[in-house]
Amino acid sequence: MKIKPQAWALLAATALALAGLTATVPGAQAATRATATPATSPLHGTRIALGPTSNLYANAFAEAPNGAVFFSRGAVVYVVEGNRAPVTALHPGRTVLALAATKSDLFVETGLLVTEYSRANGRQVRHWTLTSPVKSITSAGLYVVGDTVWAWTDWATDGSGFQYAEISRIHTTTAAVRVVDKSAFPGDMAADAAGLYFETVHGVSDDLAHANPTTPAVQYRKGPVDAPLALASGRVDLLVFGASAEAVYSYNANTLALVSSKRARGADDGIAGTSVGLLVLAQPCNAFPCSSATVGRLNVATGGTTGALRTPGAYQLLNGPAQAVIEASGVSGTHAHLFLVRISS
């Protein structure tokens, strides 16, 4: 039975919690809106070694607007500039749960603390403390657009099972932290200048939601949940895992009205809005990582994929102007060697 990436991360978190360790889901930054018409030309990739990790599920990733990719290994943050080898960027002093980056700053979440650092000199700019019904956070994510930072935290373990995430909104010009939602689905969200799009349980209804970046307003529309989500060409796209088949649902980003729904391939596991189109990660294997994984352009009008690039062991798409995917090889337990694959058309 195929398990989608979020489920793999949750399984890892619960297993490691038993051992008294902390596991994370990679953090993400704001989504990049995809081009209107997916091209059919093949995609190309440039592979960059990130080095070994002792905890495959505990590395946070984020891409800055200039294409620099930040990633964490324990309490150290590294950066990949262009296609060069990674170098140390920051020592936050505590295990990193999530990352997000702007042109000038790096945002780092450690536990319930979100800290802004200057990319120029590594100095701390300011910090914020999140609230949570449970203090021992096991997974988290950050999205930054302009002066708005969206943060989600979750505390699922093998003992607790699935837990809903709490979402908070931070304005970098103030010290305030506002709780937006307490029943969100971890990781199934994306942000742009219009706000944060996420999936949640609102009352007794499963909903697609849109939180405004400057007001308390949250817009809701009944829809699928626990589905990978991406922003593309004025749409909110969801990759929906059904009982008998998968499908891609597209909603208007302004009204949240359903625009279309098309059946997708059963191997499709994740999506990301990028500058070369809406990308889809396919994992047609039962094993993890998948040796025959690919990344291609997903056409929401047909549900089909074009221009697929082989990305063996790929398990995490990154959002950003310089689209990329993370691959794992030589996996043994939670140990693996990681690679960044920069994707171009």
Kindly list the structural domains of the chain, giving each domain's residue range(s) and its CATH number in brackets, ordered by start: 5-33+54-264 (2.130.10)
Least confident of 17-31, 132-146, 186-200, 202-216: 17-31
pLDDT confidence bin for 31, thresholds 50/70/90: low
Q: pTM, whole model, 2 decimals?
A: 0.91
**Nearest CA-CA partner of 207 in 184, 239, 175:** 184
Sign of CA dihedral 230, 231, 233, 237: positive
Q: How far apart are CA 230 and CA 237, in angstroms?
A: 5
Q: Does the pLDDT value for residue 198 go beyond 90?
A: yes
Strand partners, 250: 237, 260
**CB neighbours (10 Å) of residue 284?**
15
Q: Does the pLDDT value for residue 150 go beyond 90?
A: yes
Q: How far apart are CA 148 and CA 265, in angstroms?
A: 35
Tell me the average pLDDT across 196-205. Answer: 96
Residues sharing a CB contact under 8 Å with residue 255, sequence separation 6 or more, in sequence order? none
Please give the share of the chain, as a percent, with pLDDT higher than 90: 81
Assigned token pair, 122: 């590594």
pLDDT score, position 32: 55
**H or E element that contains 7:** helix 5-18
Tell me the average pLDDT across 58-71. Answer: 96
Q: Does the pLDDT value for residue 148 go beyond 70?
A: yes
Q: Does the pLDDT value for residue 20 go beyond 80?
A: no
Sign of CA dihedral 24, 77, 317, 152: positive
Least confident of 72-86, 220-234, 319-333: 319-333
pLDDT score, position 276: 87
**Nearest CA-CA partner of 96 in 23, 173, 10:** 23
Strand partners, 249: 238, 261
Q: How far apart are CA 173 and CA 98, in angstroms?
A: 21
Q: How far apart are CA 312 and CA 212, in angstroms?
A: 38
